[in-house]
Amino acid sequence: MMMLVFLQVLGDSNLFITLMNYAVITIIFYFLLKKYHSLLLNKKLMLLSTIYCFIVLTRTMTLVKNNLTEQILEMAIFSIVTLITLLLVVLLIENLNHQIQLQRELRRSEKMNVISQLAASVAHEVRNPLTTVNGFLQLIIRDDNITEKQRNYIDITLSELNRAQSIINDYLSLAKPNNSSTQLINISEELAKTVELMTSYTNIQNIEVETSIEKLLFINGNKDEIKQVLINIIKNAIEAIGNDGMLMIEAFSKENNITVKITDNGPGMTKEQLSKIGTPFYSTKDKGTGVGLTICFQIIEQLKGSIEVESAIGKGTTFIIKLPRYQPPSTI
């Protein structure tokens, strides 16, 4: 915009060419926007500088072609000022975004701390009487004097107690620090095993599973926790699809990260639902506790990774897990 004002001041008659340049750059930048957001700050500045230099170059060529070389110096000075202003604005915006992200993470951390302690306290208080009830029911069911009907009722009660115990364990996991030792994990192998484990579940619901898993992808972590994350997210995807759907599971290495993408073609989520994913006790399922995904986020964050979620109504949902790739120690 500033360049256009400059050209207008100079009385330039080739504004159409410049406008076309800006239009082409705008279209290119639109398609690169998603890639732009994933870049580091220095690469963003380099990209913007390159695009801007291209605009200035095309403008210089136009001036030379029209024998207006006396305007090149003025245009160069104006272009440098404009570029510096643009980069300063970008730096300011990136800094503000970073501050907002830090504040958001701080609030989330404080909220998680309060909720986890509360959940652990309540879970401990509930677990004790449940353990007592479970023990007495186990004794009663061994009694030869009860009828078969009463035995069935006790079996149902024990089953529900076990489900309650499982939920309590989930709540306790919120407050339990990760003190487990890490080990070298072949996540390609673990992902393949998890897909095989969930095959019966997908077959029942007539869900087609496609995989594209790069071999020998290694990370440092706890094997049981990684398996818990994979099972939880894949199971959620299957439940979101319902029946007759498609589940795509990918794993690949990019730069210094291992990326796992789990995509379903279920109903998708609204922006409001998407913003709450990973929040304790929030679930889009009718009978969900909202604890499973929260634990998944915690596990991945403890491994210095991240979970991103992309979703749109009617288009499905994609979970993107990024973990640091294992770097063998350098030998000097």
Which tens digit of pLDDT belongs to each residue from 226-258? 888 888 888 888 888 888 888 899 999 887 889
Q: Any idea which fold 110-175 has?
A: Helix Hairpins (1.10.287)
Query: Which residues in the chain are classed under CATH 3.30.565.10?
Result: 183-324
Least confident of 150-154, 163-167, 234-238: 163-167
Instruction: Tell me the CATH number of domain 183-324, given options 3.50.50.60, 3.30.470.10, 3.30.565.10, 3.40.50.720.
Output: 3.30.565.10
How much of the chain, in percent, has pLDDT values that exceed 70?
Answer: 75
Reading the block at residue 192, the tokens are: 């393949």
Q: Give the C-alpha separation, 262 to 309, whole Å.
A: 10
Residues with Cβ within 8 Å of residue 3, at least 6 apart in sequence: 18, 55, 59, 78, 79, 82
Q: How confident is the model at residue 319 (pLDDT cuts 50, 70, 90)?
A: very high
pLDDT on residue 21: 61
Average confidence (pLDDT) over 101-119: 67
Q: Give the C-alpha separation, 53 to 39, whole Å.
A: 19
Q: Is the pTM of this model over 0.85?
A: no
Q: How many CB atoms lie within 10 A of CB 282?
A: 16
Query: Which residues in the chain are classed under CATH 1.10.287?
Result: 110-175
